[in-house]
Structure 1
């Protein structure tokens, strides 16, 4: 079939995620729900439909139609598994459990709606506000990063300790952080802007990228950073806020951080110093 310029569906299939056998059932079910909903959304809706803003999320940013479709499926999964949900659009949903799924249902929403193959489901299973395990699923490939707190993992960061010459992913520059963005970018040896924090921090965990940062714009919420807080330290790296604020699982999604995920604590500190000037 020829897909001309007038066709606005996204033709490429969404594969099943390659989940490890030891993933907790509630987290695995949420991931499958996200993948299925995303696959169905791409099959049934056009790019403009997926990108339509349909509500204002609990985090204070607009909710795209594709976000709502994926999050609704995850919410049903959480309810059926009798766990609470903390999610980007809906906020906190209390299902009467001591266990909460902290999720970014569709990280990289603009990419997903446009057909750019850089978007993720990302989730953390937390018990009494303490993270137990985390998983990020690259939706367009089925690739999965997973770790459980206290268990060894095969992921290893690059081990880099210096910013000069490093491979760095950044959020796009914004009006309030142009100088700090340039300070980091000018010292990096290779720079990427992928538009999906969860994927970029997973790449730090596996050593493909030395560091990821929001260089001072205070854009990131806990759902953006939750999986990184498990995956990156398990691989030998560090996750911090550029301003030294604690990163905790607060259900208040209006809280923001300038998060940094780096191969080592030394590199994280150097990135923070560059941001602060």
Structure 2
């Protein structure tokens, strides 16, 4: 092989080495999932798989626009959301998503979705990201679906109906297994207070996935310790899934959680196995959070 050919091969090898080259499975969905919600989840997995096959980690993480929620849009977000938007149009339902905002397809039904929750994880190859969606009818959430993109696992819940999975039921913070958003300058003190009381602390950087881990009893609670980092699509699926599994979703500052087209609104979400645990977390957060 000549020098030019060798150089081209090295460049090709370097390109391949930065791809996330393991496959993304189709989500294992229960039969009861509404067709529009199921189609959106499958579209998300397919688009994510194609994105990883065609684009390097650097490309997937590139900021390509500013989302409707006021945060930068990565290429991986754009590619997956575009596929979900096509799905919503195909199924004749409206869409509320963090990148595009509200898309009116003239329906009483709206999909409220986080196309890729844990975008930084997804772009870099950390297998902790998910699709999360809620189907709302006339503004009222009726069912939720969260799918773990790298494994195909799915959590489905119908509003007001018990799920086959349950929370741990834990009522005390001391010794609990807690997942937290990473600390920020104004939350370091309270973050440490919560962490020191917990028995185990994780930072997974994917709120929607952490919420369903609370719902199934794998962890006891998840919290944003006062930084108001969550948009409605970060919490919408949890607002249906976690109560159906015996837990609660609250805001650390007492703000009402409601579906809203205003993506400038923010919450400090607390997802817990029981109301007692949620209230104890909120009390601890309130001691230092402004």
TM bin, normalised by shorter chain, reads: over 0.9
Per the alignment, in what secondary structure is the counterpart of residue 226 of structure 1? Answer: helix
Select 1:67's aligned residue among 77, 88, 102. Answer: 77
Distance in 2 (CA, whole Å) between partners of 1:152 and 1:239 is 16
State the shift of 1:182 in Å: 1.3
What pairs with 1:69-108 in structure 2 (closer than 5 Å)? 69-108=79-118
Question: What CA deviation, in whole Å up to 9, does each residue of 1:54-113 have, x standing for no partner?
Answer: 000011100000000000000010011111100010011111111100000000000000
Structure 1 segments (4+ residues) deviating >2 Å: 3-6
What pairs with 1:173-188 in structure 2 (closer than 5 Å)? 173-188=183-198
- Structure 1 unaligned regions, length at least 5: none
Per the alignment, in what secondary structure is the counterpart of residue 236 of structure 1? Answer: coil
- Structure 2 unaligned regions, length at least 5: 1-11
Matched, 1:17 2:27: yes
What pairs with 1:232-243 in structure 2 (closer than 5 Å)? 232-243=242-253
Question: What CA deviation, in whole Å up to 9, does each residue of 1:127-168 have, x standing for no partner?
Answer: 111110000000000000000113221111000000001000
The match for 1:37 is: 47
Q: Compute the TM-score of the two structures, normalised by the length of structure 1.
A: 0.97
Label 1:39 to 1:217 Cα distance change in 2 as closer, same or farther (>3 A): same
Matched, 1:262 2:269: no
Distance in 1 (CA, whole Å) between partners of 2:26 and 2:164 is 22
Question: What CA deviation, in whole Å up to 9, does each residue of 1:183-228 have, x standing for no partner?
Answer: 1111110000001000000000000000000001100011000000
Distance in 1 (CA, whole Å) between partners of 2:37 and 2:192 is 38
More helix by share: 2
Greater C-alpha Rg: 2
State the shift of 1:5 in Å: 7.1
The match for 2:284 is: 274
Which range moves more in the overlay, 26-35 or 178-187?
178-187
Distance in 2 (CA, whole Å) between partners of 1:241 and 1:90 is 25
Matched, 1:251 2:261: yes
Distance in 1 (CA, whole Å) between partners of 2:126 and 2:226 is 26
The match for 1:155 is: 165
Contact 1:181 1:216 in 2 (8 A): no
Distance in 2 (CA, whole Å) between partners of 1:189 and 1:46 is 38
Q: Compute the TM-score of the two structures, normalised by the length of structure 2.
A: 0.93
Distance in 2 (CA, whole Å) between partners of 1:199 and 1:27 is 17
What pairs with 1:113-262 in structure 2 (closer than 5 Å)? 113-262=123-272
